[in-house]
Amino acid sequence: MGNCVFCAIRKGEIPSAKVYEDKDFMIIKDINPQAKIHLLAIPHTHVPYLDMMTEEGVNLLGKILHKISKMQDQLGISDGYRIIINQGENGGQTVNHLHIHIMGGEKLKDM
Ligand SMILES: [Zn+2]
Transcribe 34-68 into DSSP letters: SSSEEEEEEESS---SGGG--HHHHHHHHHHHHHH
pLDDT at 1: 58
Q: In what order do the strands lie in the sheet with 25-29?
A: 18-21, 25-29, 37-43, 100-104, 81-84
Q: How far is the CA of 97 from the centre of ligand 1 (A)?
A: 5
Q: How far is the CA of 99 from the centre of ligand 1 (A)?
A: 10
90, pLDDT greater than 90: yes
Q: How far is the CA of 7 from the centre of ligand 1 (A)?
A: 4
Mean pLDDT of 66-80: 98
Domain covering 5-104 assigned CATH 2.40.50.140 in the classification: no
Mean pLDDT of 28-48: 97
Active-site residues, by number, are 99
Q: How far is the CA of 105 from the centre of ligand 1 (A)?
A: 27
pLDDT confidence band for 2 (50 / 70 / 90): confident
Mean pLDDT of 79-101: 97
